Amino acid sequence: MSWDLKEAIDYYRRQGAPGDQTALRNLLGEIQSEQGGAIPKYLLTAAAEGLGVKESYLAAIVRRIPSLRLADHHVLEICAGPNCSRRGKLAAEAEQYAGKVEIRLVPCMRQCGKGPNLRFDGKLYNTADAQLLDRLIREADR
């Protein structure tokens, strides 16, 4: 089963987060671990919303704890499920942006009827194509 932010938040809420600093620190550490060593901004935003605290508060905690760090790049997730893969060639299109953004091929996003699908910094886009990819990357560069 894949990792899920909402489940993680629910778990650490039961441990006392966001009031309990240890539980909060452990949640941030788990997010970082699941994301390969840094916390993407969009997940910090989502965690803040899920916990009912300000994003700036979580960011301050991340800065204060040496073992935690924020990612300084954008994350592009391409659905590599069978339906999206059949309809488009997004993964191949995305290769030209390697180095500008982190590209991940992820399992079915459970939006098969609306594919091809991608997520950019956590936001889902349906009926994605090369033009959308280009626009997202250009806007992210600004």
Residues lying near ligand FES in the complex (CB under 6 A): 79, 81-84, 108-112, 115, 117
Question: Residue 31: CB partners within 8 Å, gap ≥ 6?
Answer: 5, 8, 39, 43, 44, 47
**In terms of CB distance, is 36 or 82 closer to ligand FES?**
82
The least CB distance from residue 124 to ligand FES, in Å, is 10
H helix or E strand, kind and range, residue 124: strand 123-125
Comparing every residue's Cβ against ligand FES, the nearest one is 81
The least CB distance from residue 139 to ligand FES, in Å, is 23
Which candidate, 112, 125, 120, places its Cα nearest to that of 85?
A: 112
Longest CA–CA separation in the chain, Å: 47
**In terms of CB distance, is 40 or 88 closer to ligand FES?**
88
The least CB distance from residue 87 to ligand FES, in Å, is 8
Task: Look at residue 51 and give its three-state secondary structure.
Answer: helix
The least CB distance from residue 79 to ligand FES, in Å, is 3
CA distance 93 to 53: 38
Residue reference for tokens 């939006």: 111
The least CB distance from residue 85 to ligand FES, in Å, is 7
Residue type present at position 109: M
**In terms of CB distance, is 14 or 110 closer to ligand FES?**
110
